[in-house]
Structure 1
Amino acid sequence: MVSTKFKSIVSMTVVMVLVILLVAGFTIQSLFKIGLPLAFLLAAISIPTDATATDAVTDGLIMPKRPNILLKLESLFNDASGLILLSMATLWFQNGYINYQQTLMDFLISAFGGATLGYVSSWLLMMLRQQMFTSKVNFLNNTYNNGTPMKVIFFATPFLIYFIAEEIHVSGIIAVVVAGLVGNTEAQRSKLLNPMVYYDSVRLIEMISEILNGVVFVVLGIVLMRTYRDEQITYGSWTWIYIGIVLYLSNLIVRFLYSKFVMREKAHTAKLFALGGVHGAVTFALVMMLEHATLSTRQFNLAIMSESVLIILSLLVPSILFRFVLDKDVPDDEMIEELTSMRVAMVEHARQQLNEIYVPDRMKPILEYDLNAQIGQTSTRDFIKQWQKASRVVGLDQNQTIFLNEIYHYIFDQERDYLAMIEHRESKYHEVFNILYKEIMMAEMVSLRDDNEE
């Protein structure tokens, strides 16, 4: 997708961000009589958007395909654009002048150097991973290996590439983004080489992303309260609020006009693209980078508070307006009710089919408890009984374990057959079927034990 949308990406992450920088910077300077270098510092920080935050404000709503693609493509690279422009504005602020020729050269070296490093390093690491997947020495090509070396390499790759890029003075963000694009393509064609490694790696990244995003906003809240209590907070009593509003409106208006008249998007798409430019973790991170610049406490506090207003407005405004301009997805309550009902029916079907086959008396309580657990119909008392029984009774022997696994296979096959039987009649709830199929798959994975486990 990135290669086919290259022109749009350059337009959004180079040309449009420069327009935003100029509009926001000169507006702040003229309205609040702030020095132009500081005004451009504040404007540069306001450029990066956060696709994760956009997903949060559109939860439960259907974002049309076109603006959704534009927002995701933009968020891939405008972090780097904002960082480079911030570096330029910081040098201007510190030196009192700007060297346009040197700045342009630094931009080209940083951007293309980062892209080259990201592509080459990710390609080499991709070859290493593929060799490990197919190597008989490491046994990574079978489902009995948990693939710890592969997971370590997968997790360490972005950090390694970023630090190498920064060490040789090219854009670490662009290097990591390009490496991620290469890695995504690799993952699409390698996930069945070792499904367990792929699944664990994806879940690991999702967990870390959620934790880091949560931590960022907790830290933001703490910093806001501490800064608000500082008597040197701003140039005027509420200047930071007004600057934050100007930053948000500058981004909003330029994004709409640029997408409408330059990118030739439809008015509705342009409106969604403008509102979807939500700011989050990267904006806050760029603010904190100013701590190492030669800003006074007063100026640094002004930057924190005004950019915080920008972040809050970019989250709040679309959260309200999207409710009126976007179609609603299947209501959560309705979908949950349907999911629960279908899960119960699925398990009851499997239970009925289980009654038609021979099951040893010793295994019946185990299977009955697990079927009830699938639909949440077990109590703490039931669990204690199962726990006590498992603690006292000798485990199953190898033949019994094999037979129990076969019964589990049969149960999960029956559940899948039931879903396949009714799926064509319930086209409204495709997401429900996806959830249930995943639940069966996960239940099958954790329930089926190795023959020699006992």
Structure 2
Amino acid sequence: MHTILPFLLAMIAVIVLLNMWAAKLKIAYPILLVVGGLLISFIPGLPTVKINPDLIFFIFLPPLLFEAAWSISFKEMRKWWRIIGSFAFLVVFFTALSVALVTNYFIPGFTIALGFLLGGIVSPPDAVSTGAIMKFVKIPKSTAAILEGESLLNDASSLIIFRFAMVAVGTGQFVWQEATLSFLWMVIGGAAIGLLLAWIFVQAHKRLPTDAPSDIALTLIEPYFMYWIAEQVHSSGVMAVVCGGLFMSARRLIFLNSASRIRGYSVWESFVFILNGIVFLIIGLELPEIVDGLRSKGIPLSTAIGYGVLVTVILILARIISSYAAMIATLIFRPSVAPRAGSTRARLMMPLLLGWTGMRGVVSLAAALAIPVTLDSGAAFPHRNLILFITFVVILLTLLVQGLTLPYFIKRIRFFDVIFSEEAEDVARQKMKQGLKQHVYEVLKTKYDNELNGHVGIERILKQWEERAKASDDSWMNEQTKGIFVELLESQRQYLSELNKDPSINEDIIRQQLYQIDLEEERLKVI
């Protein structure tokens, strides 16, 4: 314990330093974390990083998926659900099938079941890597929504493939009828369990006398409950966490007060950052041990690298082909829902961009590390070290090649200048604020018309929304005016919730304004 604890603290310090360096270099921090972990692994005397394969999913996945479900725009997911669904399920299966066929043909002793196992591991793009890269380039909200929604759901589909492939490798057989029923139960049952537990958690937050610390503590353990209970009944814990997280996210204004939302945002942001950082560092730290395992099996390092490059190329090509197939199918069968583009060139380039955003990361590593060392029979798991090494090469190459070139391609080609004729963000924000001020004024005139004349506090409330001026003292804010002010803030939340139904308004702008309202309410508590 005295050896591991300083090492873990040092890992967190390295994560923070590399993140600051990545921000200065304007590159995605997962890239530096993987490379940093690889370099650190060569330092002699470091303790070996080992994680129980049975716990790797349970430790990292539930909070990461839960936070992603809270961050995504459900409105945009509903709008682009066809494209998101096709990428999250059909493209993942097509990618896993492509990897299975190619590896079965080129890698000696690699069965179709092992190929599907590897395909399930490396098929899902990583949301963290994509999100980190998108911070440095400006893309339309629809494209961001497609990428975020896909990364949220494809984890579930890829891990379902992973689970079925594990059964096939262990038993040597695969029954399609049983697999189909099991797949339906995993998807439908997992979603139902997640929604049921989320409803129970929402009621608990609403009815129990919780405060901000207890609310935040509950949200930290809730994704683990969803995942664990779903897995106990052999359903999909990933689907449970995703569906439960989306349900609770849509109702955050109902069961969490302003203090819980503000403080919870900071806690979760730091918590998820540390978890992601540890996983990406582990990717680099694990490599020397994986290489030793390859050598013990007599597999040359150059050969293993060649397999990793081959699988990476297959992943990129499969995703690009799938992107163009999805575009063609949409234009043929549902042209009304196809994304609008300013030119034919822009329309043709869009699938290429989606195909080039397939960086791999956390989920792929977690799945690879979750492969048991031995089968139930006690025999060594076939090609485990090779699968781990190929996964590492895929993660490293996609992060370095696609991750470093994606911002350059977007800025250089500049096809986003003509894609999607959407309302500019600053115009949308101005429209929202103007409507909000008008709404506040109408509420004041309607409900407090008699109090407006001659009451200094009420007049200053009105002036607050017109000029955002601060009074020189706080004597005007008595209990009556404070109550009116809080009521106005709640009225603004209701107005913004209704405004969010407008498809032309970016939900991120709505959430930013809601956060400002929460800050305003917290400020009132100290006056």
* 1:147 aligned partner, one-letter code: A
2:136 is matched with: 60
What residue in structure 2 maps to residue 194 of structure 1? 257
Do residues 181 (structure 1) and 246 (structure 2) align?
A: yes
Give the number of aligned pairs. 341
Q: CA deviation at 1:162?
A: 0.8
Verify: 1:154 aligned to 2:238, yes or no: no
Moved more, 208-217 or 290-299: 290-299
Change in Cα spacing, 1:318 to 1:35, as seen in structure 2 (3 Å) is closer
Do residues 255 (structure 1) and 255 (structure 2) align?
no
Report the Cα distance in structure 1 between the residues aligned to 2:141 and 2:317, rounded to whole angstroms.
22
Q: 2:192 is matched by which residue type in structure 1?
A: T
Residue 167, structure 1, aligned to residue 251, structure 2? no
Read off the aligned partner of 1:16 and give its amino acid letter.
Answer: V
Q: TM-score, normalised by structure 2?
A: 0.58
Matches within 5 A, 1:19-98: 19-36=94-111, 37-98=113-174
Q: How does 1:99-138 map to 2 (within 5 A)?
A: 99-132=175-208, 138=209
CA distance in 2, matches of 1:293, 1:50: 28
Q: TM-score, structure 1 length as denominator?
A: 0.67
Aligned counterpart, 2:405: 321
Q: CA deviation at 1:449?
A: 9.1
Q: Tell me which residue corresponds to 2:284.
A: 221
RMSD: 3.4
**Equivalent residue letter for 2:221:** A
Gapped regions of structure 1 (runs ≥ 5): 133-137, 141-145, 330-400, 407-433
Equivalent residue letter for 2:310? V
Separation (CA, whole Å) in 1 of partners of 2:156 and 2:514: 36
- Alpha-carbon shift at residue 54 of structure 1 (Å): 0.6
Q: What is the alpha-carbon distance in structure 2 between the residues aligned to residue 239 and residue 44 of structure 1?
A: 22
Distance in 2 (CA, whole Å) between partners of 1:121 and 1:449 is 33
Provide Cα deviations, 1:208-245, integer angstroms capped at 9, x if missing partner. 11000111122222211222234226633323212222
Relative to structure 1, the CA distance from residue 447 to residue 223 in structure 2 (aligned partners, 3 Å threshold; closer, same or farther) is: same
Query: Residue 7 of structure 1: CA displacement?
Result: 2.9
Structure 2 CA distance for aligned equivalents of residues 8 and 440 of structure 1: 33
* CA deviation after TM superposition for structure 1 residue 50, in Å: 1.4
CA gap of 1:113–1:81, structure 2 versus 1, over 3 A, is: same
Whether contact under 8 Å (1:233, 1:302) holds in the other structure is no
Return the offset for 1:281: 0.8
Question: Cα offset for 1:442?
Answer: 11
CA distance in 1, matches of 2:136, 2:205: 38
* SS of aligned partner of 2:135: coil
2:360 corresponds, among 268, 274, 279, to: 279
* Cα offset, 1:321, TM superposition: 2.1
Q: Quick one: distance in 2 between partners of 1:260 and 1:68? A: 18
Deviation at 1:441, TM superposition (A): 9.8
Cα deviation, residue 85, structure 1 = 0.6
With CA pairs under 8 Å and 6+ residues apart, which has the higher RCO, 1 or 2?
A: 2
State yes or no: 1:299 paired with 2:383. yes
8 Å CA contact 1:57–1:318 kept in 2: the answer is: no
Listed as ranges, the gaps of 5+ residues in structure 2 are 1-74, 331-346, 415-472, 479-509
Identity in percent: 24
The one-letter code sitting in structure 2 at the alignment partner of 1:198 is: R
Output the CA distance in 2 between the equivalents of 1:439 and 1:149. Answer: 20
With over 3 angstroms needed to count, the CA separation of the structure-2 counterparts of 1:16 and 1:441, relative to structure 1, is closer
SS at match of 1:229: helix
Deviates more, 1:244-253 or 1:165-174: 244-253
- TM alignment of 1:414-425, pairs within 5 A: none
Matched, 1:15 2:110: no
* Counterpart contact for 1:14–1:81, Cα < 8 Å: yes
Q: Deviations over 1:17-40 (max 9, x none)?
A: 111111111111112223222222
Distance 1:28 1:125 in 2: 45
Alpha-carbon separation, structure 2, partners of 1:120 and 1:8: 27
* C-alpha distance 445-229 of structure 1, shift in aligned 2 (>3 A): farther
Mapped to 2, the partners of 1:55 and 1:97 lie a distance apart of 39
Structure 1 residue 438: Cα displacement = 12
CA drift at 1:269: 1.7
Q: 1:232 to 1:196 in 2, by over 3 A?
A: same
Counterpart of 1:310 in structure 2 is: 394
Question: Which letter maps to 2:291?
Answer: Y
